[in-house]
Structure 1
Amino acid sequence: MDFSLSDTQQMLRDTAARLIRERYGFEERAKILASEEGFSRKMWATFAELGLLGVEIPEEHGGIGGTFQDLAIVLEAFGRGMVVEPFIPTVVLGAGLIRAAGSEAQKSELLPRVAEGGMFLAFAHGEPKSRYSLTHVETTAKRDANGYRLDGAKAVVLGGDCADRLIVSARTAGKTSDREGLSLFVVERGAPGLKIRGYPTVDGTRAAEVTLEGVRVPSSALLGPEGGAFPFIQQTIDRGIAALCSEAVGNMQALNEVTLDYLKTRTQFGVPIGSFQVLQHHMVDMYIAHEQAKSMAILAADRADSTDAQARTKAISAAKVQIGRSGRFIGQWAIQLHGGIGTTMEYNAGHYFKRLTTIDRTFGDADFHLTRFATAT
């Protein structure tokens, strides 16, 4: 595998890194979190101007036609800044689904608006009783003379409170946990019977509980084949996991840097505490944990768009296991090495650890993916 960056990838890395360094510092992020929406539409417009929202979107739909590896570079930089804008819900999950399963009409309508920053998307798939299962869907879609009627509930919909369109999974046939019979529908915000209750999560990002009570959508709202959506759902979640892995790598690197800087400046007994050998050993272990996570994140990014579902699933789960373990190790030792200041809201170390903890739990924790890896067939 060639790990060197192309000219385009180098440009993306430099652009995203400079944006985070110059305009998305910890204090600026705190102001964004304190705003009414909990994210910045102005910053979102900046992402669009720099072409970051259209990295994977084809050129004919207003993007730059890049690969997932290109997107992973941006996500790693965003991890360093703990970006709270709904980038993964809109760009990776939402736009990725439309690009993979949508008709030409749907792509032409929605993808350009995402690339230009004029539309937020969210993938409403998880349900109150589904936990990490991708097949457990109780929401139903019943066909009628005018299209479909959707009824059900979705839980912890990432970016759901600001989404202009929801991509909703619903069962058009089969039993609750069958792979067959799942369908996807594009539902407009404000549709009669659609209720969205947004809230902040522990790491500062946003999610929503979504209720559908007799929501009617036209036949044109169907995304992909009726009853055959599971392969698209599975790959979309795998891509979401790969995206989280890349973000986590940037987060870990930034947390290591913050911790190392603290060890160099905090003094005790008249010397920097970083001069104590035992603390140096812990710092080395944290560095190794980051490097292990980075290697697996690269593998996940490489396999994210593979059409071999079994190979993709095993690689993605393996990466998620390492990300979870490395994130916990680095986060816990960062707090230990900082002492009390590491747990304060005014200092960034605890916020990095919160994000790493949330990433570990999103789309399946390390224990879940270890089992998934072992049983993948």
Structure 2
Amino acid sequence: MALVLNEEQTMLRDSARGFIGDNAPVAHLRKLRDDNDATGFSRALWKSFAEMGFSGLLVPDEFGGSGLGCVEAGVVMEEIGRNLMPSPFLATAVLAASALSRGGSAAQKSEHLPKIADGSLLAALAIDEGAKHRPLQTKMQAVRSGNGFRLNGAKAFVVDGHVADLLIIAARSAGSPGERAGLTLFLVDPKTKGIALERTTMVDSHNAARIVFDNVEVNADGVLGELDQGVALLEGILNVGRGAVASEMVGVSEEVFSRTVTYLKERKQFGKLIGEFQALQHRAAHLYTEIEITRAAVLKALQTLDADFDNAATAVAVAKARAGTTATLAVQEGVQMHGGMGMTDQFDIGFFMKRARVCQELFGDSNFHADQLAQLKNY
């Protein structure tokens, strides 16, 4: 399959680029940060986003969505990355929609997917428990209680967990941390007794949450997918999320590159435009080639998720690892070529550096995915 967007995907990209660029430039994020906004994003803008059909991209047609694929979700994520738009799109429209579409019962799909498609329900995926992404090391306990389960444990780095109407929780219903068997996913109402939630503002001014579960009762109807066999469903959901975050990092890298090249053409030193210095030209050319190679790797991963979902892990690991290293290179070069002013809050370039750092860690950094790739290839 050609590593280019088709006509419909290009039209979607142009639509998303125009909408996000007009309504949520970096200044939008800056204002939310400066106002210490309690929500961390604009609910009015999210409503308009949903009306454009973006929130239902991965929701099947029969539940009010577009029934499109990961490539289309990646197209929107790339434009979000270009503008650093704070939005529940990743947590709700990508992760939760994928989880429910792939693992939900008929009742669960009917109840939640239409609300995701129309933007009226926000959801969050709660996986990590420590400083690093290690899903198989899940310690949170799900113990049988009556006709359901009792959850005990804590989750960290839950993206948009502070505003979620629905939580998707990974807990250990059997086995020990590190084992593949024994993981189960649960749908949990965050208002359930025993849940303590703390909003955390991350370094990039986006939001996450810490959530503590103290004897939280969940009905058996809240099980998402198969009991004790949730690892395959979870890995599939995470791969969709990793592909989406990789796309966002492509957007971050491209925007940083564009802004940096513009600066090189405007800034003068010793009476010459700094873009005329060959050393900076070489560095800019190197960054350009890295971004283009990464773009191809990410699109390949998204296409594989759509065409051969169960065998996409290798392509996703390559894409996420490479997107992380490329975004890191892009923001470091961007800040350095802007000189000392690149480190000041007056310039937006610092916002991109912080977002790239968060995206690098989200769902596994480059080292995590290099290790994943080695395991998949039996190195």
Sort the TM-score into its range (normalised by shorter chain): over 0.9
Partner of 1:101: 103
Note if 1:217 corresponds to 2:210: no
Q: Distance in 1 between matches of 2:270 and 2:178?
A: 61
In 1, Cα distance between equivalents of 2:228 and 2:39: 36
**1:221-259 C-alpha deviation (Å, 9 max, x unpaired):** 111111111101111111111101111111111100100
Give the 3 Å change call, closer, same or farther, for CA 42–170 of structure 1 in structure 2.
same
- Say if 1:20 and 1:80, in contact at 8 Å, map to a contact too: no
Distance apart, 1:332 and its partner CA: 1.1
Shift of 1:307: 5.4
Quick check: 1:355 aligned with 2:337?
no
- One-letter code aligned to 2:217: R
SS in 1 for 2:135: coil
Alignment correspondent of 1:241: 242
- Cα distance in structure 1, aligned partners of 2:82 and 2:93: 18
Q: CA deviation at 1:325?
A: 1.7
Shift of 1:78: 0.9
In structure 2, what is the equivalent of residue 9 of structure 1?
9
Structure 2 CA distance, aligned partners of 1:213 and 1:361? 27
The answer for the alignment partner of 1:114 in structure 2 is 116
Identity percentage over the alignment? 34
Deviation at 1:143, TM superposition (A): 1.9
* Whole-angstrom CA distance in 1 between matches of 2:356 and 2:4: 27
The separation in 1 between residues aligned to 2:177 and 2:155, in whole angstroms, is: 14
In the other structure, the counterpart of 1:25 is: 25
Number of aligned residue pairs: 375
Residue aligning to 1:153: 154
Q: Are residues 149 and 180 of structure 1, via their aligned partners in 2, closer, same or farther at CA, if it must alter by over 3 Å?
A: same
CA contact (8 A) 2:192 2:216 kept: yes
Instruction: Kindly indicate whether the alpha-carbon contact (under 8 Å) linking 1:235 and 1:305 is maintained by their aligned counterparts in 2.
Output: no
Alignment partners' CA distance in 1, 2:220 and 2:371 = 38
Tell me if 1:252 matches 2:253. yes
* Preserved CA contact (<8 Å) 1:139 1:151: yes
Deviations 1:336-377 (A, max 9, x none): 100111111221111111111211122221122112211215
Question: 1-side partners of 2:69 and 2:202: how far apart?
Answer: 30
Give, in whole Å, the separation in 1 of the partners of 2:234 and 2:49.
Answer: 26
Instruction: Output the CA distance in 1 between the equivalents of 2:292 and 2:142.
Output: 45
The alpha-carbon deviation at position 20 of structure 1 amounts to 2.0
Q: Residue 84 of structure 1 is aligned with which of 59, 83, 86?
A: 86
Residue 337 of structure 2 is matched in structure 1 by 337
Range 247-256 or range 16-25, more displaced: 16-25
Aligned residue in 2 for 1:319: 319
Distance 1:180 1:8 in 2: 41
Quote the residue 2:202 is aligned against. Answer: 201
- Cα distance change on mapping 1:74 and 1:308 into 2, 3 Å: closer
The SS at the match of 1:135 is helix
Distance 2:259 2:127 in 1: 36
* Corresponding residue of 1:123: 125
Shift of 1:133: 2.1
Partner of 2:265: 264
Alpha-carbon distance in 2 for matches of 1:95, 1:180:
24
Determine the structure 2 residue equivalent to 1:279: 280
Partner of 2:52: 50
Alignment-derived partner of residue 293 in structure 2: 292
Report if aligned partners of 1:164, 1:189 keep a CA contact under 8 Å in 2.
yes
Q: Which amino acid aligns with 2:18?
A: R
Is the Cα–Cα contact under 8 Å of residues 25 and 85 in structure 2 kept in the other structure?
no
Distance across 1 between alignment mates of 2:150 and 2:348: 46
Spell out, residue by residue over 1:253-286, the C-alpha distance to the aligned partner (whole angstroms, 9 max, x if none): 1100100111111112222211222211111111
Deviation at 1:321, TM superposition (A): 1.9
Segments of structure 1 that go 5 or more residues without pairing to the other structure are none
Shift of 1:29: 2.3
2: CA distance, partners of 1:305 / 1:225: 23
Amino acid at match of 1:367: N
Note the C-alpha offset of 1:28: 2.1
Aligned AA for 2:238? Answer: I
What's the offset of the Cα at 1:3?
Answer: 3.6
Q: Is the 8 A contact 1:183 1:228 kept in 2?
A: yes
Cα separation, 2, equivalents of 1:233 and 1:307: 17
CA contact (8 A) 2:186 2:224 kept: yes
Separation in 2, partners of 1:318, 1:5: 20
Structure 1 length as normaliser, TM-score?
0.95
Check the 8 A contact 1:289/1:330 in 2, yes or no. Answer: no
Per-residue deviation at 1:308? 6.1
Q: Which consecutive residues of structure 2, in runs of 5 or more, have no partner in the other structure?
A: none
**Structure 1 Cα separation of the partners of residues 206 and 96 of structure 2:** 17
Whole-Å Cα distance in 2 between the matches of residues 39 and 295 of structure 1?
A: 31
CA distance in 2, matches of 1:367, 1:187: 32
Superposition misfits of 4+ residues, deviation over 3 angstroms? 3-7, 305-309
Residue type of the partner of 2:269?
Q
RMSD after superposition: 1.5
| Paired amino acid for 1:135 | L
How far did 1:146 drift? 3.8
How big is the shift at 1:196? 0.8
Q: Contact between 1:318 and 1:370, CA under 8 Å: does it hold in 2?
A: yes
Cα deviation per residue 1:107-142 (whole Å; 9 max; x = unaligned)?
11101111111111111111137x332211211112
Structure 1's 306 and 171: CA in aligned 2 closer, same or farther, altered over 3 A?
farther
Whether the 8 Å contact between 2:3 and 2:300 is mirrored in structure 1 is: no
* Pairwise CA distance, 1:40: 0.9
TM-score of the aligned structures, taking structure 2 as reference length: 0.95
